[in-house]
Structure 1
Amino acid sequence: TYNASSTLQDQLEKLTDSDSLESEKVLSYNRANRAVAILCNHQRSVPKTHQKSMENLREKIDKKKETIEEAEKKVKEAKRNAKHGSEKEKIEYEKKKKQLDRLREQLIKLEVQETDRDENKTIALGTSKLNYLDPRISVAWCKKFNVPIEKIYNKTQRAKFRWAIDMAG
């Protein structure tokens, strides 16, 4: 347990960038947890549904990229209109620009999910997270990097580790 917790702490310090998106921070956490799971030899066989779920995720990513391309064209057009246009057209341009940014963030989230899912196919992360890691480390990490605790622990796990969550305030 000590080795597992200290490995998690070291890996979290190495892997987490405070400027990255929330989904990238969660990926960093999972990578740190993966290092612990490998240390503890928590292996599993590749799930039968892995290939299909990866294909579905790939399709979602491809569709999102197409949507982004269309949105980029709309933003360019709106920008042209806004240069010489009315206030309404300028507002429309800003709206389209924000939508494009949102789509790009969604794409990053999907790509991070794909990476995470593929990297975890043979490692059982739950075993180390529930039985070997000091939850105070995870809770403190969540607070430090403004990651909602729900992204790390599900409802049952949050109930189990309520004491650690309460300690962190």
Structure 2
Amino acid sequence: GCCSLRVEHISLHEQKDGKEYVVVFDFLGKDSIRYYNEVPVEKRVFKNLQLFMENKAPGDDLFDRLNTAIMNKHLNELMEGLTAKVFRTYNASWTLQQQLDELTNPDDSMAEKILSYNRANRAVAILCNHQRSVPKSHEKSMEKLKEKIDQKRENIQDMQRQVKDAQRDAKHGSVKEKVVYDKKKKTLERLKDQLMKLEVQETDRDENKSIALGTSKLNYLDPRISVAWCKKYDVPIEKVYNKTQRDKFRWA
């Protein structure tokens, strides 16, 4: 990004919201998604940026003496194989690991663990500015999901009444009536589990409506972190990577 940063993309503030030497980044990134960030910097960095902006038009390059070849040559001199992408990969992978450790509860259900994984992945996508416009179909799909949830709640209420009646009959009834009671209890538990999965799905879908999770997952995250997480919390790898992705990351 350094090589394509233009003067119009930043503004400098000696004081902003109680902070000193703030650089405001404001520009359209990939897929015309706005990137906005306020970053306090050291005084020396701030003064240097002021010098770089002197006598330049808004459309001029901020670092006009820098290009990708020069930058990559410099980085490679510091460490063999080091490129600008390595910093992004490191920050993304570190953020994923930190978020997974913070969000995952070993006692959670499978659906809740996947929600935690997606939330960790979302933190990475936000860090990398992998946003998207909300899909046109989002509202309609959410309505359908809400209908399913409402229907499932009605089914649970109906089954709760049936369980109550069956429990009463089983107290003084035959073996057959006790079997019926046990079956209805299991059906009620299954319905509750289905409702929980639908509610988690609703939360997950709504939270990720404007985030593109796939880009960072495929290009900027070390897959060994996801594989280790799956093993640690007994999550099938298929829940995290589809077949194409599993083939790509077979080495991990």
Give the TM interval when normalised to the shorter protein: over 0.9
Distance 2:196 2:173 in 1: 33
1:125 aligns with 2:202: no
In the alignment, what sits opposite 2:174?
A: 86
Distance 2:173 2:140 in 1: 48
Q: Which has the higher contact order (CA 8 A, sep 6+)?
A: 1
In the alignment, what sits opposite 1:60?
A: 148
TM-score w.r.t. length of structure 2: 0.64
* Letter of the structure 2 residue corresponding to residue 52 of structure 1: K
CA deviation vs aligned residue, 1:14-54 (integer Å, no higher than 9, x gap): 10111111000000000000000000000100000000000
Q: CA deviation at 1:113?
A: 0.3
- Could you tell me which of 138, 152, 156 is aligned with 2:244? 156
Q: CA deviation at 1:88?
A: 1.3
Percent identity of the aligned residues? 75
Structure 2 unaligned segments of length 5 or more: list them. Answer: 1-88
Q: CA deviation at 1:92?
A: 1.1
CA deviation vs aligned residue, 1:74-119 (integer Å, no higher than 9, x gap): 1101100111111111111111101100100100000000000000
SS of 1:162's partner is: coil
In the alignment, what sits opposite 2:105?
A: 17
* Letter of the structure 1 residue corresponding to residue 125 of structure 2: A
Q: Which runs of 4+ in 1 moved over 3 A?
A: none
In the alignment, what sits opposite 1:28?
A: 116
- Could you tell me which of 128, 139, 144 is aligned with 2:232? 144
Distance 2:160 2:251 in 1: 48
In the alignment, what sits opposite 2:204?
A: 116
Distance 2:147 2:206 in 1: 15
CA deviation vs aligned residue, 1:104-151 (integer Å, no higher than 9, x gap): 010000000000000001100000110011101001101111111111
TM-score w.r.t. length of structure 1: 0.96
Q: After superposing the two structures, state which structure 1 stretch, 22-31 or 138-147, moved more.
A: 138-147
Q: CA deviation at 1:163?
A: 1.1
**The structure with more strand, counted as a fraction of residues:** 2
Distance 1:6 1:25 in 2: 19
In the alignment, what sits opposite 1:167?
A: none
Q: CA deviation at 1:160?
A: 0.6
- Could you tell me which of 187, 197, 210 is aligned with 1:99? 187
1:4 aligns with 2:92: yes
- Could you tell me which of 73, 93, 101 is aligned with 2:161? 73
Larger radius of gyration: 2
**The structure with more helix, counted as a fraction of residues:** 1
Distance 1:12 1:29 in 2: 6
Distance 1:137 1:78 in 2: 48
